[in-house]
Amino acid sequence: MTNTIIRAELTGIAAALTNNYTQIATDSACSLNQIRKQLLCPEMQRDHIHSNLIEQIVSMIYASPEPICFYKVKAHSGLPEMNVQMQLPNTLPYVTEVMTCTFSLHL
């Protein structure tokens, strides 16, 4: 397994989901894109270098009883409030994209 910045970003997202966070802010557009691809077209991600981690993240999203909301925030903005995790009300003016994952399984 290769250690990359994308792996670090994905690991942070996985840690947030493991700790039952439902609102996750990240500056990693690549990570959000990989998660979106796995949700929409999982067959395209089979050979991805971090496919196991991405699959783990998506399975936690599916298993969550609450909707998961990802916030894409500006990177390297230099704003002190951007460096504090989960201060979403202070960072909302800097949000560039929101991705909400809500699933309901009908058996």
pLDDT in tens, 41-96: 888 878 888 888 999 999 999 999 988 888 888 776 555 554 444 444 444 445 55
pLDDT above 70: residue 30: yes
Please give the residue that has the higher pLDDT: either 39 or 1: 39
The whole model's pTM is what? 0.70
pLDDT above 50: residue 106: no
Residue 14 has a CB neighbour count (10 Å cut-off) of: 15
Taking the mean position of all CA atoms in its chain, how far away is CA 41? 16
Domain positions in the chain are 5-101
Residue of 80, 106, 77, 105 lying closest to 95 (CA atoms): 77
Domain 5-101 superfamily per CATH:
Ribonuclease H-like superfamily/Ribonuclease H (3.30.420.10)
